[in-house]
Amino acid sequence: MGEKPDFGVELNATNFDSVLKDTPAPYAIVEFFAHWCPACRNYKPQYEKVARLFNGADASHPGIILMTRVDCALTINSNLCDKFSVRHYPMLLWGPPRKFVGSGWDPKQENDEIRSIENGRTADILLGWINKQLESSYGFGDGKYENEHLQRNSSDPAQIARAIYDVEEATSTAFGIILDLKMIKSVTRASLIKFLQLLVAHHPSKRCRKGSADILVDFDNLCPSKILSANNEEADSCSKKGALGNYQICGEEVPRGYWMYCRGSKNDTRGFSCGLWVLLHSLSVRVEDGESNLAFRTTCDFMHNFFICEECRQHFYDMCSSVSNPFKKARDFALWLWSVHNKVNERLMKDEASLGTGDPEFPKVIWPPKQLCPSCYLNQGKTSNENSKIDWNEDEVFKFLVSYYGKELVNLYKDKEMKAGGGTEKAVNEELVASTNAVVVPLGAALGIAVASCGFGALACFWRSQQKNRKPRRS
């Protein structure tokens, strides 16, 4: 019989900052301990009992608290434990995850957002302390997550910041579906390559850009066209069973198994479809004018070849086919995708109303609602559900799309961090530059773009020529 899994995430000096920086959870607990300490060994089951509520795929309350552990008895962690003034074991610290990054803790400091949990010696006491801080009522009898913590206020622009995690989740889920169903064939291979190129250049998540680039760099070796051509069908080497299945497009932490911005009030609503729409919108506002038509064709081909909801796929393909003139401006592509999404919502409004299949907490609406963008409406007297009667100010709509799916999307902690000073804003601006300008795509991303063509970044051609003898990465 195997050992019980640990739910407290083990951290050390090499991954401490990166894990805490990347977590979507608004709070973190760090336990500092020593593996030789008898009290620490006895306390671990107590800590794990609480961690199981918040960490892991079967968590009752995922995305709320990241519970971690650091072994101060390991030499590698000596300086880290000194920075956080660890003087006894076990010691628990609580605070916003990013407050732990690149910093330390001094018990003499006042009004610091990192706080010591002075009394958490049993699971019951620790959970009671947490409930008091969050004004919650979590209990050890809580079942697996059932969408009880909803972001109900869709009119709050800060909510889109949580969607960066759902975009990563949707990207990983889509890639997993493609591999699971062996959807890479001779007729679809080029479509996937082009979409991966688009992700490398313009995905809002840095780690998804890197993961897409890693796949593209080795794609010819992982999924050779000659195998697909010979079989004229799917090849195991291009599926989850082959080497391609060892690649994680957004890193080891994704998928997490739950949604944040796209969380529905029921498990069969929102989720992946919402995340995929946010991904497409985030791509549309990042492409340059010269890329707009290629991005349009790439998006249409990807949805046609790899979206497995047949009715939805056909509707999307029909709307793509209705476009007669090539897009010359990025603005035109972004507005086309926006109008398509509203047409889909308008159709689903009627279907869900007649069949009773909608999410009662998140009914379909025409986007954006007036609460988010009053200037988008020229005829202010009409409701946002009367799409056919809305006189849109498309210049204002485009500005809204760029802001909402651009800056707001990557500004992960705007509502909590901006008050701390300019550091977060600087980091957000750097991330925006990296995700909107193909010219400054990192080396790995440039290589990825170059694998099949140079459609999304001219510099890729140069890197392709410089790295053409690069050996494939072994999985």
262 is catalytic: no
Rounded distance between C-alpha atoms, residue 338 and residue 332, angstroms? 10
How many residues are given for the chain? 475
Rounded distance between C-alpha atoms, residue 359 and residue 38, angstroms? 50
CA quadruple 405, 407, 410, 415: dihedral, nearest 10: -110
b (16+ CB within 10 A) / e for 365-401? bbbbbbebbeebbeeeebebeebeebebbeebbbebb
CA proximity to 212, closest of 191, 230, 198: 198
Rounded distance between C-alpha atoms, residue 265 and residue 140, angstroms? 22
CA proximity to 338, closest of 315, 362, 368: 368
Tokens of 225: 């066209």
Question: What single letter denotes the amino acid at residue 80?
Answer: L
Rounded distance between C-alpha atoms, residue 152 and residue 109, angstroms? 36
Q: Given 40, 223, 262, 376, which residue is catalytic?
A: 40
- Where helices occur in 68-180 by DSSP H, the ranges are 78-83, 97-100, 123-134, 163-180
Beta bridge partners of 302: none
Q: Given 37, 312, 320, 461, which residue is catalytic?
A: 37
274 is catalytic: no
Question: What residues are annotated to the active site?
Answer: 37, 40
